[in-house]
């Protein structure tokens, strides 16, 4: 029997029914879902929660324990997210925590959970998560910015050797800075000129000024390094300015299907999208998720839904494998663990807790070419680009 509960915690009333390895969780497993349920990235959080809920309802129980899901709303704010997780840990002791939307939040939560002796898996992008700020309690399912940039930008450059000038649009926080640094490395290696960059804040919703600056620089390729609704707005405004007819466009970190549904095929056609996940992946683990999502939700899974499903499922499987919710036992089990996931074979690197998985490059297509309503793009390539712990700067 599965018990699902949602708890939206404010800073003034931060109360979370989390679970510790030595508390009442011996009879009930609590999985704390950390997500932006409000704020700038609320849409991502709402989809993410559906994915976690799907995994928990599918499992029903773990190691003989009913599963209780508690949602911790970070409000798209690193400080608030960390304080709420700290409140849970103070109340309940170390437990299992899954997810976050922003890298800055993941870094803060990861340190907090580690100090308390819990276990935490997230989908943040900043390289530091499994690099210089890694720790033994924090795991990352998504490819880092290094992997995302290399797996998307390199194939675009290979396919279009005429690209000589590149302009970037970047969010000015830890994720964006990491995206930009990796992009500049790839451009330098390929002898391509970076003709300019526009920074924007997390609060920006209007991007026409940045698009105008990009247009004035006459690049051959516009690279969008932002995320979520901001990336979609940037893309929409770039197409409105006619940039798609003048240059190639790459959105490095899209939400895959969710992004394309928001933009529509007219905008997506001919645009490159990097993606952590694509619902048309033929791997058995993904086909099972697609069937489950269609059955329970009546929709194909998008990236936030799929990523939270896989992260939650990984924790549930670890509890089943170890026979309980002891974080230390879960960590030992996960070291070097390989499994058939939603992107194919996925492996948890023992040296820095990075899940090594495929990253996709998609090319949007027009409506006439679509096999069904969700067939917005073709997979151009997929690959795995990961740094070793030593090269990433991970010392534990």
- Which residues are within 8 A (CB) of 291 and not within 5 positions of it... i.e. 6 or more apart? none
Instruction: Based on the fold, state whether residues 169 and 307 are members of the same structural domain.
Output: no
Q: What's the pLDDT score for residue 40?
A: 83
Q: Are 341 and 83 in contact (CB under 8 A)?
A: no
Does residue 175 sit within a domain?
yes
Q: At what angle do helices 208-216 and 228-240 cross, to 10 degrees?
A: 50
Q: What's the pLDDT score for residue 26?
A: 52
Q: What's the pLDDT score for residue 25?
A: 41
Q: What's the pLDDT score for residue 160?
A: 98
Instruction: Based on the fold, state whether residues 311 and 329 are members of the same structural domain.
Output: yes
Instruction: Based on the fold, state whether residues 96 and 179 are members of the same structural domain.
Output: no
State residue 226 phi and psi, 5-degree precision. -90, -170
Instruction: Based on the fold, state whether residues 89 and 129 are members of the same structural domain.
Output: yes
Does residue 193 sit within a domain?
yes
Residue 248 DSSP SS3? strand
Convert 65-76 to b/e letters by CB count within 10 Å (16 or more is b): bebbbbbbbbbb
Q: What is the DSSP letter of 117?
A: T
Q: Are 231 and 251 in contact (CB under 8 A)?
A: yes
For residue 349, what is the domain's CATH number? 3.40.50.2300
Instruction: Based on the fold, state whether residues 106 and 212 are members of the same structural domain.
Output: no
* Residue spans of the chain under pLDDT 50: 1-25
Total domains in the chain come to 2
Does residue 294 sit within a domain?
yes
Does residue 263 sit within a domain?
yes
Instruction: Based on the fold, state whether residues 380 and 270 are members of the same structural domain.
Output: yes
Does residue 395 sit within a domain?
no
- Distance between CA 11 and CA 84 in Å, rounded? 7
Residue 203: burial class (beta carbons within 10 Å; 0-12, 13-18, 19+): exposed
Does residue 393 sit within a domain?
no
Q: What's the pLDDT score for residue 19?
A: 38
Instruction: Based on the fold, state whether residues 369 and 339 are members of the same structural domain.
Output: no
Q: What's the pLDDT score for residue 203?
A: 87
Instruction: Based on the fold, state whether residues 314 and 267 are members of the same structural domain.
Output: no
- Strand ranges for the chain from DSSP E: 3-4, 29-35, 61-62, 65-73, 96-98, 119-122, 138-140, 165-171, 193-200, 221-224, 248-254, 272-275, 338-341, 344-348, 355-356, 359-364, 377-383
Instruction: Based on the fold, state whether residues 192 and 91 are members of the same structural domain.
Output: no
Distance of CA 208 to the CA centre of its chain: 26
- Distance between CA 306 and CA 41 in Å, rounded? 17
Tokens 């704020």 label which residue? Answer: 39
Instruction: Based on the fold, state whether residues 97 and 122 are members of the same structural domain.
Output: yes
Whole domain around residue 106: which residue ranges? 3-143+281-356
For the chain, the straight-line distance linking the first and the last C-alpha, in angstroms and rounded, comes to 39
Does residue 394 sit within a domain?
no
Instruction: Based on the fold, state whether residues 187 and 212 are members of the same structural domain.
Output: yes
User: Which one, of 395, 254, 328, lies nearest residue 21 by Cα?
Assistant: 328
Residue 377 DSSP SS3? strand
Does residue 109 sit within a domain?
yes
Instruction: Based on the fold, state whether residues 376 and 228 are members of the same structural domain.
Output: yes
Q: What's the pLDDT score for residue 17?
A: 33
């Amino acid at each position: 029997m599965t018990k699902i509960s949602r708890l939206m915690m404010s800073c003034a009333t931060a109360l979370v029914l989390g679970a510790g390895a030595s508390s009442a969780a011996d009879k009930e497993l609590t999985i704390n879902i950390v997500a932006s349920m409000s704020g700038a990235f609320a849409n991502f959080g709402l989809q993410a929660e559906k994915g976690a809920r799907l995994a928990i309802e599918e499992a029903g129980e773990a190691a003989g324990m009913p599963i209780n899901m508690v949602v911790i709303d970070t409000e798209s704010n690193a400080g608030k997210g960390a304080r709420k997780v700290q409140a849970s840990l103070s109340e309940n002791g170390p437990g299992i925590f899954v997810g976050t939307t922003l890298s800055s939040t993941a870094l803060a939560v990861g340190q907090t959970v580690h100090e308390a002796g819990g276990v935490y898996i997230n989908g943040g992008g900043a390289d530091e998560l499994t690099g210089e700020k890694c720790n033994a309690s924090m795991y990352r399912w998504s490819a880092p910015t290094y992997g995302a940039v290399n797996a998307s930008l390199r194939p675009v450059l290979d396919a279009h050797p005429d690209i000589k000038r590149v302009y970037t649009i970047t969010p000015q926080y830890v994720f964006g800075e990491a995206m930009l640094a990796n992009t500049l490395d790839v451009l330098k290696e390929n002898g391509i000129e970076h003709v300019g960059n526009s920074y924007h804040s997390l609060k920006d919703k209007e991007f026409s000024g940045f698009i105008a600056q990009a247009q004035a620089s006459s690049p051959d390729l516009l690279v969008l390094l932002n995320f979520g609704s901001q990336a979609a707005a940037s893309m929409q405004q770039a197409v409105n300015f006619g940039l798609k007819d003048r240059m190639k466009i790459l959105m490095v970190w899209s939400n895959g299907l969710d992004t394309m549904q928001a933009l529509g095929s007219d905008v997506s056609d001919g645009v490159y999208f990097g993606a952590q996940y694509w619902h048309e992946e033929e791997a058995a683990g993904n086909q099972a998720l697609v069937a489950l999502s269609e059955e329970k939700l009546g929709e194909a899974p998008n990236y936030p839904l799929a990523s939270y499903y896989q992260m939650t499922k990984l924790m549930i499987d670890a509890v089943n494998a170890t026979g309980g919710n002891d974080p230390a036992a879960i960590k030992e089990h996960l070291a070097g663990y390989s499994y058939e996931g939603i992107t194919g074979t996925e492996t948890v690197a023992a040296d820095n807790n990075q899940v090594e998985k495929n990253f996709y490059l998609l090319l949007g297509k027009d409506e006439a070419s679509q096999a069904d309503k969700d067939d917005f793009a073709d997979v151009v390539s997929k690959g795995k680009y990961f740094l070793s712990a030593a090269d990433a700067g991970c010392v534990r």
